[in-house]
Amino acid sequence: MFRHGALGYIENGKLHLPESLLKPLSITHETVLFGLYYPLPSNKKGYPKTKLKHDFILSLVPFRLWPIVGRLSIRLKNRPGMVRQVSHCITRHEATILLTEYTRSGFRYDTWNLTISFDSLLNRINDLNFNEHKSYYKESYQELQNLRRAILRECRSL
């Protein structure tokens, strides 16, 4: 995995980030980003070696959807109709593709990375159960596993 970082700054209430950081992420002038600030807890017992006092995350996914969003990485055989077949399966399981990246290997397999939201959980978003030890919402994780199994079952030629 390629990691890239750059120094940003705040001026007149606006966050400024260098183009060298944004361009590889396909973030342009019209892109909307959502930010989430994570201060360290007042009790530092859980973070004794932390040097940075704060954390900040930028995301293309609206914060209110985070509890019902999951990432799915699928390895597809390089055959016509495979993307359509998987897309139909995702639609049948009431999931919406928010972000996607598709990489062709040039041989037999392609990799499709998806960030998806589970529409069936949207009306229950405030009642989801958070697993503190694993840092995910149990219902979203279960939906992601169900979708993964369905794709493998319905798209046998993957």
Note the residue count of the chain: 158
Give residue 27's domain range. 9-62
Q: The domain spanning residue 110 has which CATH number?
A: 3.30.70.260
Residue 130, phi then psi, degrees to nearest 5: -90, 130
2 located within any domain? no
In a shared domain, residues 91 and 34: no
Enumerate long-range contacts of 28-33, CB under 8 Å, 24 or more apart: 31/60, 32/60, 33/58, 33/59, 33/60
With H, G, I as helix, E, B as strand and everything else as coil, classify residue 30.
coil
106 located within any domain? yes
Count of domains for the chain: 2
In a shared domain, residues 31 and 83: no
The pLDDT of residue 107? 73
In a shared domain, residues 73 and 47: no
The C-alpha atoms of residue 24 and residue 124 are separated, in whole angstroms, by: 35
Using 50, 70 and 90 to split pLDDT, how confident is the model at 1?
A: very low
Q: For 22-78, write each residue's pLDDT tens digit.
A: 877 778 888 888 877 766 666 656 566 666 666 777 788 888 898 999 999 988 888
Residue 121, class by beta-carbon neighbours within 10 Å (0-12 exposed, 13-18 middle, 19+ buried)?
buried
What separation, in Å, do the N-terminal and C-terminal C-alpha atoms of the chain show? 24
Average pLDDT over residues 3-27: 79
